[in-house]
Chain A
Amino acid sequence: MAEQITCWLGMTLMVLGLGMPQAVKASAQSSGDEQATSRRLEIVAPFDIKGADPLLSGILFQRMQVVETLVEVDATGELQPGLATVWKVSDDGLEWRFTLRSGVQFHDGSRLDAEVARQSLEIARAKPGILKSVPIERIVAADDHTLVIALSEPFAALPAYLADYRQQILAPASFDESGTAQQVIGTGPYRMLRMTPPLSLEVTAFEDYWGEQPEVRQARYQAVSRAEGRALIAESGDADFTYGLDPASRQRLSKSPRVTLAAAATPRTMLLKVNANHPAFQDPDVRRALSLAIDRTAIAQVVLRYPRGASQLFPPMVEGWHDPALPELHQDVFEARALLDAAGWTVGEDGVRQKDGQRLAISLITFSDRPELPLVATVLERQFHAIGIQTRLDITNFSAIPAGHHDGSLDMALFARNLAMVPDPIGNVLSDYAGTPEAPGGDWGAMGWFDADFTAELERMAREGYEPTPEGQDPRAQASGVIQQALPVIPIAWYYQNLAISHRLQRAQVDPWERSFGLSELRWAP
């Protein structure tokens, strides 16, 4: 397994590095092959299509490369030119100038200019989304090719925010009067052929795309919500590209003659959110005891079938934020029990710990959209049972987690969090772990835990960037250290994206940032 992952990571990088020049060659060679160019690529993934608006299914349109953003991201997380070729910030950090790519056409034939981009961003800004937390004063089209974003205070991570799928640039004709997109008219290498929510859509190559023409000319996306269903489709050879495989199916498919498995580390971590307002969990030692009760290796190997569990919040692929020097989270049931005893929670007659007449019985919310979550929750229930904590599982709709955060009813919640929705994790760290003293933390992060210095430091980083401290330390690693020490959330496992790729395809790649299926880079096998 481990070799497989490294092997695929290597291949991914190789494809990224060598893809371009070879792509030209490959398309020249295969241009005579009508069969290959008219073939339709079949993609199967779990995500339903909800509608044309970026807020609803924008991430899917981005993955299908129908739409593009001003800023793109490469496999290592470095920002790359997208629809904007260059950007720079004024010395006071308050004015960003983005130079737009020239000669870009939308799928309806209209031209991209700064005014169109401005409208698209304004519409995105009016809707719920991460752009709301950026101190934008106004967006101006300075001239045809220059978009100016004026801020009320410096914000170094702005370009990364513009790479988020919700900031995709759509043609004005996409929107109705209320600013809701009714059609997807983007600038990507593929244009929408037909969309039949909730389960399928079809794209075809866009002849007037500004960049390279892709070899795969037609592709169809199908949403299959059940993991078993997806695995079966992959196994029977009906899908070329199957996304989101469950651990058991992975094992099985690895022996299949029709497909190859691919995996890539992704900035997604399985977390246990703990309510630090709870009488027991106020005490950091009790949170530490919870962490010590968890056998991450067994969970990873048996349930998720990964080589190991999470040793800290950020996986190694998130450079800067992952600090290899941090002491690893580990299991030690005896120490966990000792910590609980010391905190005054003693084992009662029924085997459940109690303090001042209150039993340590809590509920753990999770959801089944990701099939591994209920399984891990079931394991956690037993492992907490072993240290005298009674856990009631509540497997429900995931909306119960932020809802419980806001009404204060949540005890613990288990979920998978994308730590880099914005390619720069600062966006997530700010929204999940900063907050205000009155409303500490965020819906998918800390609850009831607030550290004023930590928050101030995060805000400074967002403003100024990640210059090393005078002592030569990375401030991001220091922030990770604070989280590791206080454990407002308890990391359990780091995720990998798992795909099955049919042998009809060559050089498939996995985008670790979950932004693209990589259609335009794919080649048909000869």
Chain B
Amino acid sequence: MNLPSRLLQLLMVVLMVGGTSYLMMQSLPGDAAWRIAAGRYGYDALDAAAAASVRAELGLEAQGGLHFLYWLGDILRLELGTSLISGESVWVEIRHQLGNSLSLAGAALGISLLIGPPLGLLAGLRAGGWLDRSLLAVCSLLRATPQFLLALVLILLISVEMGLLPAAGHGEPQHFILPAMTLALGLAAVSARLARDAMAAVTQTAFHDFARWKGLSNAQTFWRHGLRHVALPLVTYLGLQFVTLVEGVVVIESIFGWPGIGHALVHAIFSRDVPMVQGTALVLGVGFVVINLLVDLLGRQLDPRGVK
């Protein structure tokens, strides 16, 4: 995909998120002030006076037909406003949470790369061997396990029964391990299969046979000829894992009490903090388009064929 169409896609993402957020705001207008007040004050302190003060402060009643255009204008100028709950700028909040989520996602991606592709490559070299078969079984089992169950199993085994790692929390390096592991296992299950298929395909090509025939060792063949071919689908796939990661992050962060963007998103949706929902959704959508663009470029570096 070329740059102009990526930009168009970017614009569409912004419009769609903006439109949905606007619909969210409009869907229950009378309720919005109550919800926001609920998010701010909690059930013990929520009353009509609290809701009235929110309504007055945010001007929730005054919304005409032109409102949507203003709304879009603000988004296009990247003015995301302030969180309805905390009063903090949405940018500031997102920056803080995104950092946490990215570090978690990065750790997960790292672990999954350490586990998945190496196993996949080994399996692919001997397609049909015992490693290949057991890997297939494990991957299928992992793919059929919802992430929150995986998280639960890991917590019960590693942290409660063995007492090796903290069950939840945030702040110390060891807090990374369990949530990152949970995310990583799911990712590794797919990337291992991908690497395995790519490797199996490569070993059947003519150039691979030729390389072996001319006397290169298995390892030499792999480094000189195999790796580039295997890397290509993996890189493409890794870029796309971003979205899978984000979805996993929503559930995983809520179990492990991780103060990231997924946790924030669920909270914002619950308390109807529309600017926060819009901000997080925009950041995620735009991030995904940008990552796709980078993957395109990287793919072209790895495989210059087809570039004029």
Residues of A within 8 A of B (CB): 44, 47-48, 50-51, 55-56, 59, 127-129, 132, 166, 180, 196-200, 220, 222-226, 228-229, 232-233, 235-238, 367, 369, 397-400, 402-403, 406-407, 415-416, 418, 421, 431, 442-444
Q: Which of B31, B41, B155 contacts A232 (CB 8 A)?
A: B155
* Most chain B CB atoms below 10 A, which of A127, A128, A220: A128
- Beyond the given pairs A51-B87, A403-B34, 5 more chain A to chain B contacts, judged by CB atoms under 8 angstroms and listed by A's residue number, are A50-B86, A200-B259, A399-B51, A431-B47, A443-B46
List CB contacts (< 8 Å) of B38-59 with chain A.
Answer: 38-53
Residues in B with CB closer than 8 Å to A415 are: 43
Q: Mark B147-184, 1 if CB is under 8 A from A, else 0.
A: 00000000110011001001111110000000000000
* Nearest residue, chain A, Cβ from B32: A399
Asked if A132 and B49 sit within 8 Å, CB to CB, the answer is yes
Q: Given known contacts A50-B85, A397-B35, is B257 in contact with A402 (CB within 8 Å)?
A: no
B167 → A minimal CB distance (Å): 4
* Nearest residue, chain B, Cβ from A56: B40
* Most chain B CB atoms below 10 A, which of A47, A225, A238, A416: A238
> Can you report 11 residue pairs joining A to B where beta carbons are below 8 Å apart?
A47-B42, A51-B88, A224-B257, A229-B257, A232-B155, A233-B166, A233-B169, A236-B159, A402-B48, A443-B47, A444-B47
Asked if A196 and B267 sit within 8 Å, CB to CB, the answer is no
A320 → B minimal CB distance (Å): 22
Asked if B87 and A397 sit within 8 Å, CB to CB, the answer is no
Asked if B53 and A235 sit within 8 Å, CB to CB, the answer is no
Give CA–CA (A50, B160) in the complex, Å. Answer: 30
Residues in B with CB closer than 8 Å to A400 are: 31, 34
Asked if A229 and B171 sit within 8 Å, CB to CB, the answer is no
Asked if A229 and B256 sit within 8 Å, CB to CB, the answer is yes
Q: Check B221 for interface membership: any CB of A closer than 8 A.
A: no
Q: Given known contacts A197-B86, A233-B169, A397-B35, is B47 in contact with A402 (CB within 8 Å)?
A: yes
Residues in A with CB closer than 8 Å to B105 are: none
Give CA–CA (A198, B83) in the complex, Å. Answer: 12
Asked if A238 and B256 sit within 8 Å, CB to CB, the answer is no
Asked if A128 and B267 sit within 8 Å, CB to CB, the answer is no
Give CA–CA (A474, B253) in the complex, Å. Answer: 52
Asked if A418 and B257 sit within 8 Å, CB to CB, the answer is no
Asked if B43 and A224 sit within 8 Å, CB to CB, the answer is no
Q: Check B96 for interface membership: any CB of A closer than 8 A.
A: yes
Give CA–CA (A398, B30) in the complex, Å. Answer: 15
* Nearest residue, chain B, Cβ from A431: B47
Q: Check B270 for interface membership: any CB of A closer than 8 A.
A: yes
Asked if B160 and A236 sit within 8 Å, CB to CB, the answer is yes
Q: Given known contacts A128-B53, A403-B31, is B87 in contact with A180 (CB within 8 Å)?
A: yes
Asked if A196 and B44 sit within 8 Å, CB to CB, the answer is no
Give CA–CA (A226, B37) in the complex, Å. Answer: 22
Residues in A with CB closer than 8 Å to B41 are: 55-56, 128
Residues in A with CB closer than 8 Å to B160 are: 232, 235-236
* Most chain A CB atoms below 10 A, which of B156, B159, B257: B257
Q: Mark B19-40, 1 if CB is under 8 A from A, else 0.
A: 0000000000011001101111
The prevalent SS among residues of B at the interface is: helix
Contact count band on B: 35 or more
A234 → B minimal CB distance (Å): 9
Q: Which of B52, B88, B169, B259 contacts A238 (CB 8 A)?
A: B169
Residues in B with CB closer than 8 Å to A198 are: 86, 259, 263-264, 267
Residues in A with CB closer than 8 Å to B255 are: 226, 228-229
Give CA–CA (A444, B37) in the complex, Å. Answer: 15
Asked if B38 and A225 sit within 8 Å, CB to CB, the answer is no
Q: Given known contacts A223-B257, A229-B255, is B38 in contact with A398 (CB within 8 Å)?
A: yes
Asked if A398 and B46 sit within 8 Å, CB to CB, the answer is yes
B59 → A minimal CB distance (Å): 16
* Most chain A CB atoms below 10 A, which of B43, B163, B170: B43
Give CA–CA (A483, B168) in the complex, Å. Answer: 44
Residues in A with CB closer than 8 Å to B191 are: none
* Nearest residue, chain B, Cβ from A256: B160
Give CA–CA (A223, B267) in the complex, Å. Answer: 13
Residues in B with CB closer than 8 Å to A399 are: 31, 34-35, 37-38, 46, 51
* Nearest residue, chain A, Cβ from B57: A178
Q: Check B254 for interface membership: any CB of A closer than 8 A.
A: yes
Give CA–CA (A416, B35) in the complex, Å. Answer: 18
Asked if B267 and A369 sit within 8 Å, CB to CB, the answer is no
Residues in B with CB closer than 8 Å to A196 are: 96, 259
B252 → A minimal CB distance (Å): 11
Give CA–CA (A74, B166) in the complex, Å. Answer: 35
Q: Check B271 for interface membership: any CB of A closer than 8 A.
A: yes
Asked if B51 and A403 sit within 8 Å, CB to CB, the answer is yes
* Most chain B CB atoms below 10 A, which of A166, A196, A236, A443: A236
B242 → A minimal CB distance (Å): 24
Asked if B267 and A48 sit within 8 Å, CB to CB, the answer is yes
Residues in A with CB closer than 8 Å to B39 are: 50
Give CA–CA (A180, B96) in the complex, Å. Answer: 22
Give CA–CA (A129, B45) in the complex, Å. Answer: 7
Give CA–CA (A236, B53) in the complex, Å. Answer: 43
Asked if B168 and A224 sit within 8 Å, CB to CB, the answer is yes
Residues in A with CB closer than 8 Å to B171 are: 200, 220
Give CA–CA (A356, B167) in the complex, Å. Answer: 58
A252 → B minimal CB distance (Å): 10
A212 → B minimal CB distance (Å): 29
Residues in B with CB closer than 8 Å to A406 are: 48
Asked if A238 and B166 sit within 8 Å, CB to CB, the answer is yes
A-B CB proximity, top 6 nearest: A399-B38, A399-B34, A199-B259, A232-B167, A128-B49, A224-B257
Q: Given known contacts A51-B86, A56-B86, A236-B167, is B47 in contact with A397 (CB within 8 Å)?
A: no
Q: Which of A128, A235, A369, A402 contacts B167 (CB 8 A)?
A: A235
Asked if A402 and B51 sit within 8 Å, CB to CB, the answer is yes
Q: Mark B65-103, 1 if CB is under 8 A from A, else 0.
A: 000000000000000000001111000000010000000
Q: Mark B273-285, 1 if CB is under 8 A from A, else 0.
A: 0000000000000
Asked if A199 and B170 sit within 8 Å, CB to CB, the answer is yes
Residues in A with CB closer than 8 Å to B50 are: 128
Q: Given known contacts A51-B87, A51-B88, A222-B257, is B170 in contact with A233 (CB within 8 Å)?
A: no
